[in-house]
Amino acid sequence: QVQLVESGGALVETGGSLRLSCAASGLMLSRYAVGWFRQAPGEVREFVAAITRNGDKTYYGNFLKDRFTISGDYAKNTVYLEMNSLKPEDTALYYCAAETIVRGRQLSSPYAYDYWGQGTQVTVSL
């Protein structure tokens, strides 16, 4: 059974940093693209970052301006999202997802992904 579990979300002050983790069971993340998305209340799910299989390439949402970094530790079967210079507008539920069936969709689209975690909450205070 495939399972993705996010962790690392917390309440932080503006300018702070967090590292989110996406740990997988039932599949090897090194074989698949993994994406991070976020969703604030009343908003659509927004692309944050993605990493291709084996960590060959990374992609980021246009709003990030180099504040976030996605990486994989495949020995731990985990993908991370390092977030720096956090702003109140970064407040959201953050999800990771895995693309196990390649449909030719862009990794910035949530429809590219087959498995999703339950999310971890990030709240950035003023």
Task: Pull the structure tokens for residue 71.
Answer: 């990486």
Collect all residues with Cβ–Cβ distance below 8 Å to 11 and sequence separation of at least 6: 123, 124, 125
The string of DSSP letters for 28-75 reads: -GGGSEEEEEEE-TTS--EEEEEE-GGG--EEE-TT-TT-EEEEEETT
pLDDT digits (tens, 9 = 90+) for 83-105: 999 999 999 999 999 999 988 89
pLDDT digits (tens, 9 = 90+) for 67-86: 999 999 999 999 999 999 99
